[in-house]
Amino acid sequence: MVSTTHGAVRGRFERGTAVFRGIPYAAPPFGALRFRPPRPPEPWDGVRDAGAFGPTAPKPPYSEAFAPYLSDPVVPGDDCLNLNVWTPEPGPGARLPVLVWLHGGALTRGSSAVPVYDGGAFARDGVVCVSVGYRLGVEGYGLFPDAPPNPGLRDQLAALRWVHENITAFGGDPGRITLCGQSAGAISTGVLLAAPHTQGLVRRAVLQSGAPEVCDRDKVRRMVRRMATRLRIPATAEAFAGVDRDLLLRVQAEAGRLSSPVLGGPAFGIVVDGDLVPCDPLKALTEGTAARDVELLMGWTRDEYRLWLVPGGLLERIDRLGAVALAGAMARCRASHDVPRGYRALHPGAGTAEIVGQMVTDHLLRAPLHRLADARPGSSYLYEFAWPSRLPGLGACHALELGFVFGTGDTPESRKLAGEGAPRELGEAMHAAWVRFVTHGDPGWPAWNARYPVRIFDDGEPDTAYGPRDAEMALWSAASTLPQAPRTAVPRAPGAEVAAAMRRLRRSVGALRR
């Protein structure tokens, strides 16, 4: 039993680790609190049972194309702003390092109840692990004229403050908190690092396959308007709050079918709000003074794009579209002709889909993470996960590394992406590196310097490569020194043809996701 600021909770011992699940850090975000910033939970009398995961945030299921690869359990209920704690030593005397985990899922799916994110292995290695649930989709990232932006991000900040105030009672040290996330969770981690309200709450941070970024406000508004049109209601928080939750999820799924990490399109995302997010977070972290004393562990998987393109056969469709698909990628990345030409020269045997996928991955992930490391030499560590899945076509895809990091590679949920026979030694090496970083700030390889060290996790012993992506990064650096061409003039094809190609690509995504 542990006492928190809102009441006592009783957990369970599992394999020598104390586990507390479903602890509320904020009030249920419904009724009068729907689309509003989080409020503290009501205190409770007696001892609250914390033996099971709490409710998950409302979210649509994964489509038939993605469901075979990704698990996303649903726990019904309103009290979805909750968190889970794994600790080896509950009590105020231990003062152990703390890992706070923000899950991914494009800010529309995922939860802290996914079995891959079980924190038992971290606790067994002396780290208090906390996983957080937060609002998703239109509930967490819709943009309305009559409600504050970014309620999902504000949930994460509320959870981080809860950890800072309560983790001592669970054996953690509030001065040694590492904020960690993957994909949308990594984007959120980067944004929170740059947020003035977060200063002093985080000692270290891990960004896995996600870079600090904000979404164009009009892009989010278009998604909200698309939903409002289907619902035949005004695009306001007041009107959306009156819509049945299940109906809202169905409409959200329908409206989001034409969006993709590779192809873009309207989407939910974090926006600059003048308060929690006062400016572009990447600029604040690279050019300003935000979180200057925070050590960083950052990286990507070698074939991120394959999770976005392989399910349902979109990769083959892009290969068939050829030059038209490449023109669409150039428009997506606002790249000059020199960029795809350079990729063709560096990867002469690659198909169009691979060129497109690597270009977009570098534009969205590798280039900004390199930029962030360049601004913080000596305190940044970079890695690349290169081990290919045993499943056909996935390669070293997005999210594949998670089972290795958490030491949950033997679970059925991890095998959905990795297949059978994933190397146990690789999981031990990655998990140990994360434990070292959370504990000491050093994962076991050289910090970023003029030689550009990157730790490669693949079959066999992990190895450190120096400048493994320098050639691709040089293409973007050269392109950034050139005047930006108008969007319609970037591809060889006329603007109307490119727009039509992008529409065909997005229709392909929509058909696959249906």
C-beta neighbour count of 53 within 10 angstroms: 18
Phi-psi category of 393—alpha, beta or left, where left has phi over 0 and alpha has psi -120 to 50? left
Is the model's pLDDT at 497 over the cut of 60?
Answer: no
**Could you say which DSSP state residue 149 is in?**
S
Strand partners, 92: none
- Across the range 49-60, mean pLDDT stands at 98
- Across the range 44-52, mean pLDDT stands at 97
Of 66-70, 108-112, 507-511, the least confident? 507-511
Among 220, 247, 175, 190, CA closest to 372:
190
Phi/psi of residue 366, nearest 5 degrees: -65, -45
List the structure tokens of 176. Answer: 């040694």
Residue with tokens 């409002």: 228
Residue with tokens 């249920």: 28
pLDDT digits (tens, 9 = 90+) for 361-376: 999 999 999 999 999 9
CA distances from 392 to 350, 421, 441, 456 (A): 17, 14, 36, 22
Residues 270, 264 contacting (CB under 8 angstroms): no
Confidence (pLDDT) at 498: 46
Residues 84, 2 contacting (CB under 8 angstroms): no
| Percentage of residues of the chain with pLDDT beyond 70 | 92
Number of separate helices (H) and strands (E) present in the chain: 19, 14
pLDDT digits (tens, 9 = 90+) for 332-353: 788 888 999 999 999 999 999 9
Provide the strand spans (E) within 265-424: 295-301, 380-385
3-state secondary structure of 256: coil
Amino acid symbol at 488 = T
Confidence (pLDDT) at 263: 66
Confidence (pLDDT) at 512: 41
Q: What domain range includes position 165? A: 2-513
Confidence (pLDDT) at 94: 92
Burial class (CB in 10 A: 0-12, 13-18, 19+), 213: middle
pLDDT digits (tens, 9 = 90+) for 19-33: 999 999 999 999 999
Q: How far apart are CA 113 and CA 19, in angstroms?
A: 13
Q: How far apart are CA 240 and CA 165, in angstroms?
A: 34
Confidence (pLDDT) at 506: 53
Enzyme catalytic residues: 183, 304, 398
Confidence (pLDDT) at 503: 54
Per-residue confidence at 411, pLDDT binned at 50, 70, 90? Answer: very high
Confidence (pLDDT) at 146: 97
Confidence (pLDDT) at 261: 72
pLDDT digits (tens, 9 = 90+) for 241-272: 999 999 999 999 999 886 777 767 778 999 99
| Percentage of residues of the chain with pLDDT beyond 90 | 83
Strand partners, 130: 85, 100
Highest mean pLDDT among 43-52, 60-69, 323-332: 43-52
- Across the range 477-495, mean pLDDT stands at 43
Confidence (pLDDT) at 483: 37
Spatial CB neighbours of 225, under 8 Å, sequence gap ≥ 6 = 235
Average pLDDT over the chain, rounded to an integer: 91
Going across the sheet that includes 7-10, the strands are 2-4, 7-10, 47-49
Confidence (pLDDT) at 301: 98
Residue with tokens 């320098």: 470
- With residue 465 as reference, give the H or E element that holds it: strand 463-466
Q: How far apart are CA 253 and CA 62, in angstroms?
A: 9
- Across the range 405-433, mean pLDDT stands at 97
| CATH code of residue 107 | 3.40.50.1820
Q: What is the CA radius of gyration of the chain?
A: 22
Angle at 471 between CA 470 and CA 476, to 5 degrees: 90
Q: At what angle do helices 323-333 and 352-361 cross, to 10 degrees?
A: 0
Angle at 159 between CA 190 and CA 78, to 5 degrees: 120
pLDDT digits (tens, 9 = 90+) for 132-158: 999 999 999 999 999 999 999 999 999
Is the model's pLDDT at 288 over the cut of 70?
Answer: yes
- Across the range 87-103, mean pLDDT stands at 95
Confidence (pLDDT) at 507: 52
Angle at 152 between CA 150 and CA 158, to 5 degrees: 105
Number of domains in the chain: 1
Per-residue confidence at 486, pLDDT binned at 50, 70, 90? Answer: very low
Burial class (CB in 10 A: 0-12, 13-18, 19+), 446: middle
